[in-house]
């Protein structure tokens, strides 16, 4: 490696071991795929349709999609999907399917929704309304009801959070369905943003309702978050009828143009596939349990030093009073207004939590001394 590149590598290596505030698992090793860096790989177009350019990993990609479909209570006869560049692309795709279903629909989403959604809505030029959220990050159902009642003659597109970025809050599908019934909304579409929780929620008790057994229309999940990996990726799944609505043009490479980008990453499906081989559903469940235990430990330790903690039921995100800017920087905590969080993803060690608690404790003692 030349000096400049080595410096960059060392910086990333050092910083990636120390962060506590981001939902990125870091316990992976994909070095067996290194030889793939010396070949052209391209999963251009629809994963189910072969291209005349056959340098793809689409067979592996289809197995990945099938695993996710199964995890989300469906199968590849009923749902279709592909490996995306991340949660944002999956959300864009879900909203695209929604718009193609209902050209005059209105998107409802809470103010705790990920920042990328506003931009996606802007790109797609769909009418949309921001709904208030509750203190825990969950959508405010009465505000939703009021807003919906003004627009009951228009199709409703619900953009639901299955784990908000800041507090891991889940919008309650049963309550949304009650509202749909109450106002006799005939035309509606439900998209679930499960960027972070898509791989954990199926294994938590009680299991949050958000998958295809609940008849949702599409789901987006990030691959580089709870699963982890060196390249951002994700999976989007949608009811097959939605994908079939847009599948028409055949591009010059002989495949179907159903995906957002043409050329697509063929390396990330390999990473997801190898994770699935290694862990399967049982391994994922165990991973979730370990993460929950670390989150419970973190909450307890923070409370012991007198810090206010908020943790939504069973989550692996621990929200608490924001410490100093210096401490947020040192431990790479994400913060918003007066709160910060630690996300107990696989790869974070107990000793890192202990080190942070020690630092925070010192800071609190100093604060008291100067008060």
Ligand X SMILES: *Cc1c(COP(=O)(O)O)cnc(C)c1O
The C-alpha angle 241, 245, 249, rounded to 5 degrees, equals: 135
| Contact present, 194 and 203 (Cβ < 8 Å) | no
Query: How, if at all, do strands 234-239 and 309-310 pair?
Result: unpaired
Q: Whose Cβ is closer to ligand X: residue 143's or residue 193's?
A: 193
Residue 138 touches ligand X, criterion: CB under 6 A: no
Nearest distance, CB of residue 194 and ligand X, angstroms = 8
The residue (of 195 and 344) whose beta carbon lies closer to ligand X is 195
Give the one residue of 143, 193, 211, 217 binding ligand X; rule: CB under 6 A: 193
* Distance separating alpha carbons of residues 233 and 265, to the nearest angstrom: 9
Long-range residue pairs from 222-225, CB within 8 A, at least 24 positions apart, any chain? 222/86, 222/87, 222/90, 222/195, 222/196, 222/198, 223/83, 223/86, 223/268, 223/271, 223/272, 224/24, 224/86, 225/23, 225/24, 225/25, 225/87, 225/195, 225/196, 225/199, 225/345
Chosen residue from 126, 169, 176, 195 binding ligand X by CB under 6 A: 195
- Does the protein bind ligand X through residue 196 (CB under 6 A)? yes
- Decide if residue 222 touches ligand X (CB under 6 A): yes
Nearest distance in Å: CB 75, ligand X: 25
How many residues of this chain interact with ligand X, rule: CB under 6 A?
A: 16
Q: What is the CA radius of gyration of the chain?
A: 22
Interacting span for ligand X (CB under 6 A) from 5-13, 162-170, 253-261, 302-310: 162-170
Q: How far is the CB of 91 from ligand X (least distance, A)?
A: 6
* DSSP designation for 72: T
Site string for ligand X, 90-129 (x = CB under 6 A): -x----------------------x-x-------------
Instruction: Report, in Å, the least distance between residue 252 CB and ligand X.
Output: 29
Residues 27-86 within binding reach of ligand X (CB under 6 A): 86
Q: How many residues does the chain have?
A: 371
| CA of residue 14 relative to chain centroid, distance | 25
**The binder of ligand X chosen from 88, 101, 128, 315 (CB under 6 A):** 88
Cα dihedral angle (200, 206, 209, 210), rounded to 10 degrees? 0
Query: Closest distance between ligand X and the C-beta of residue 30, in Å?
Result: 18
Tell me whether residue 119 or residue 182 sits nearer to ligand X (CB atom).
Answer: 119
How far is residue 130's CA from residue 133's CA, in Å, rounded to a whole number? Answer: 9
Q: Does 234 bind ligand X (CB under 6 A)?
A: yes
Q: List residues binding ligand X (CB under 6 A).
A: 86-88, 91, 114, 116, 161, 163-165, 193, 195-196, 222, 232, 234
């Amino acid at each position: 490696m030349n000096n400049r590149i080595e410096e960059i590598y060392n910086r990333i290596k050092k910083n990636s071991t120390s962060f506590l505030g981001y939902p990125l698992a870091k316990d992976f090793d994909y070095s067996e795929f290194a030889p793939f860096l010396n070949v052209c790989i391209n999963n251009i177009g629809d994963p189910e349709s072969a291209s005349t350019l056959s340098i793809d990993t689409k067979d592996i990609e289809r197995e990945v999609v099938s695993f996710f479909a199964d995890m989300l209570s469906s199968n590849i006869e009923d749902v279709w999907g592909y490996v995306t560049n991340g949660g944002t692309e999956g959300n864009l795709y879900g909203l695209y399917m929604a718009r193609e279903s209902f050209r005059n629909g209105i998107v409802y989403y809470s103010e705790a929704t990920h920042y990328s959604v506003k931009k996606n809505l802007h790109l797609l030029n769909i009418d949309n309304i921001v709904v208030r959220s509750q203190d825990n990050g969950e959508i405010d159902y009465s505000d939703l009801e009021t807003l919906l009642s003004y627009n009951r003659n228009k199709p409703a597109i619900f953009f639901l959070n299955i784990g908000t970025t800041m507090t891991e809050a889940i919008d309650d599908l049963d309550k949304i369905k009650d509202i749909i019934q109450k106002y006799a909304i005939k035309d509606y579409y439900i998209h679930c943003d499960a960027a972070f929780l898509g791989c954990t929620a199926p294994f938590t008790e009680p299991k949050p309702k958000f998958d295809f057994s609940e008849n949702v229309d599409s789901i987006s999940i990030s691959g580089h978050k709870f699963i982890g990996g060196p390249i951002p990726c994700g999976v989007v799944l949608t009811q097959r009828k939605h994908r079939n609505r847009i599948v028409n043009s055949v591009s010059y490479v002989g495949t179907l143009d159903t995906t957002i980008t043409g050329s697509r990453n063929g390396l990330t499906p390999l990473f997801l596939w190898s994770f699935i081989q290694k862990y399967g559903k049982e391994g994922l469940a165990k991973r979730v349990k370990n993460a929950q235990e670390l989150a419970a430990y973190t909450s307890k330790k923070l409370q012991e030093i007198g810090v206010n903690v908020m943790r939504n039921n069973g989550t692996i995100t621990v929200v608490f009073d924001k410490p100093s800017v210096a401490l947020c920087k040192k431990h790479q905590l994400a913060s918003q207004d007066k709160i910060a969080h630690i996300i107990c993803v696989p790869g974070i060690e107990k000793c890192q939590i202990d080190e942070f608690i020690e630092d925070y404790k010192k800071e609190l003692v100093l604060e008291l001394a100067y008060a």
